[in-house]
Amino acid sequence: MKRKTRNKIVVTVLLLGAAAVLIGGTLALILTAGTWKVKLKESQEKVCNKGWECSGTKYCCNQTITDFFKVYQFENLFAKRNFPVAKAVGFWDYQAFITAASLFENQGFCTTGGIDMQMMELCAFLGHVGAKTSCMYACSFFFFFYFSGGEARFRFRWTAGLLCFLLPPLLRLDPGDRLIDLLAGGYGVATGGPTAWGLCYNHEMSPDQGYCDDSYTQWPCVKGAEYYGRGAIPVYWNFNYGAAGDGLKVDLLHHPELLEQNATLAFAAAMWRWMTPIKKKQPSAHEAFTGVWKPTKNDTLSKRLPGFGATMNLLYGESICGRGFIDEMNVIISHYQYYLDLMGFGRERSGLNLDCAEQAPFNPAPKKDDEQQPTGGQKPSG
């Protein structure tokens, strides 16, 4: 009897141990994003030095983002994100943005320079975010024009003209304005204009491929994982998920879906990209915008100068830049200026070198990738 009892105890302990391992592993997977969020809060208080008159205290530092960017302003900038027609209702919020930003403030994210530069960088970063997550649509006669994951697409539909008149009441549009737009052959857009629809998406809605590049062995594709566009500045391809995951200490290569499940992580991935050079000896978008970067003679000859235009060049390369004043570039600029206006700063203070129409790309894509490389899909140096 004692032996049987002992055996039962051993079996019970083994079963409980196995169950604990299984449950623990499952919880680790489920709580990956949640655990990562907690880590964001583990930051030391920043102290700054500004010469003899102020040193070694937080009071010498520039303002933090929460000092000049409040929840009501976030709601104003992205007022349409939770409309029924949006594709990420309830996902994005102010707290997720601020929590993510706290990880990068000590690196200079929206804390570089005086308050003017801080405000400009915030609007510049959000200009990219808004343009890349907009669900703005427009109708022009029988062509249905819309944005999906930040990319402009056209479809020929006989019902498009009818939709232009049926949708306005649902979206509180003025049918008269829509009629004028149509008669002019222009775009009819959602209330507030195309720039009012930022943070409508959190992932690419109809990916036509898995964005797996087997030739990039540092971050090889994981079986079953799909690397389509996700996040506030959409991440594409296995190599970009791998690089972002390494930078954020999150296994995005195995779990790319976390970027559409966790808003804080989605914002943080975009901020990491903004703050991190794609290749060595190149500036980050942050450095190019704030003037930390000093262009070389070759940069100057290539018309690459500090400003908002250079941020588009660094983030998107030749898919946006060096192609003249194309719509894709103008849309991003429009979002930046729109946010400057809403923040009370004014588009007239957008800064120099606003576009990249004539800039040579920092990182030209290899010819073999020209047809498949999506916006934001530049390869890191590793």
Structure tokens at 184: 């002019």
85 occurs within a structural domain: no
Q: Of 77, 71, 152, whose CA–CA distance to 329 is shortest? A: 152
For the chain, report the end-to-end CA distance as a whole number of angstroms: 63
What single-letter amino acid sits at 373?
Q
Instruction: Tell me if 308 sits within 8 A of 350, measured CB to CB.
Output: yes
21-61 pLDDT, tens digit each: 333 333 233 334 444 543 444 444 555 655 544 555 555 56
Separation CA 315–CA 272 (nearest Å): 12
Separation CA 309–CA 289 (nearest Å): 8
86 occurs within a structural domain: no
Separation CA 18–CA 36 (nearest Å): 26
Comparing 102-111, 320-329, 373-382, the range with the smallest average pLDDT is: 373-382
Within 8 A by CB and 6+ apart from 326, the residues are 320, 357
Q: Of 305, 291, 296, 319, whose CA–CA distance to 353 is shortest? A: 305
Q: Of 13, 285, 279, whose CA–CA distance to 129 is shortest? A: 285
292-302 pLDDT, tens digit each: 999 999 999 99
Separation CA 243–CA 270 (nearest Å): 12
180 occurs within a structural domain: yes
183 occurs within a structural domain: yes
Instruction: Tell me if 227 sits within 8 A of 220, measured CB to CB.
Output: no
CA atoms within a 13 Å half-sphere pointing along the CA-CB vector of 16: 6
The percentage of residues in the chain with a pLDDT greater than 70, rounded to a whole number, is 64
**Regarding predicted confidence, which is higher, 372 or 326?**
326
Average pLDDT over residues 302-318: 97
Q: Which structural domain range is residue 165 located in?
A: 137-189
63 occurs within a structural domain: no
204 occurs within a structural domain: no
Q: How does residue 103 score in pLDDT terms, banded at 50, 70 and 90?
A: very high
Tell me how far the alpha carbon of residue 332 is from its chain's centroid: 12
Taking 3-state DSSP, the helix, strand and coil percentages for the chain, each rounded to the nearest 5, stand at 45, 5, 45
**Number of folded domains in the chain?**
1
User: Which residues face 147 on adjacent strands?
Assistant: 152
128 occurs within a structural domain: no
142 occurs within a structural domain: yes
149-208 pLDDT, tens digit each: 434 333 333 343 444 445 444 444 433 333 333 332 222 334 467 799 999 999 999 888
Torsion of CA 316, 321, 326, 327, to 10 degrees: 20
